[in-house]
């Protein structure tokens, strides 16, 4: 996979971030995914992990995406361990009812405070 794949999919703000058109501090960057801080954090630590191949949502993922999804989760876990030693939550909002606002699959890594359950 390469960054060029971002040009072949439905474009979103995350596609522009992947292509470097919108600058962000890349706290993780590899061939498959990148991570950066959410612009509107809802927790002291709020990171986004996004694949460089755009899939609209987790609900649109298929068997073809299994390796990428596993990679995303591993990176999210490593970032959570690194940035949130007290624990963290990984969230993938998928679709309207879940409040997904950017149609490019992404994982939220949230931590730095206690979180209640169930989520709102």
Kindly state the smallest distance separating residue 101's Cβ from ligand 5GP, in Å.
Answer: 4
Produce one character per residue of 64-83: b if its CB has 16 or more CB atoms within 10 Å, e if not.
Answer: ebeebbebbeebbeebbeeb
Of 53 and 93, the one with the shorter C-beta distance to ligand 5GP is 93
Of 36 and 88, the one with the shorter C-beta distance to ligand 5GP is 36
> Binding-site residue total for ligand 5GP (CB under 6 A)?
14
For the window 5-24, what string marks contact with ligand 5GP as x by the rule CB under 6 A? --------x--------x-x
Is 119 a binder of ligand 5GP (CB under 6 A)?
no
* Nearest one of 63, 46, 65 to 104, comparing CA atoms: 65
Transcribe 54-105 into DSSP letters: --S-GGG--GGGHHHHHHHHHHHHHHHHHH-TT-EEEE---STTTT--SSS-
For the window 48-87, what string marks contact with ligand 5GP as x by the rule CB under 6 A? x---------------------------------------
Chain residues in the site for ligand 5GP (CB under 6 A): 13, 22, 24, 36-40, 48, 93, 99-102
């Amino acid at each position: 996979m390469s960054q060029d794949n971002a040009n072949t999919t439905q474009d979103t703000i995350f596609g522009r971030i992947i292509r470097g058109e919108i600058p962000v501090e890349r706290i993780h960057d590899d061939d498959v995914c990148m991570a950066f801080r959410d612009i509107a954090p809802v927790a002291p630590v709020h990171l986004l992990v996004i694949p460089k191949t755009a899939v609209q949502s987790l609900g649109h993922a298929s068997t073809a995406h299994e390796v990428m999804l596993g990679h995303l989760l591993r990176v999210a876990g490593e970032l959570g361990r690194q940035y949130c030693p007290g624990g963290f939550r990984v969230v993938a909002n998928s679709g309207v009812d879940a409040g997904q606002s950017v149609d490019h699959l992404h994982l939220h890594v949230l931590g730095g405070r206690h979180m209640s359950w169930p989520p709102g």
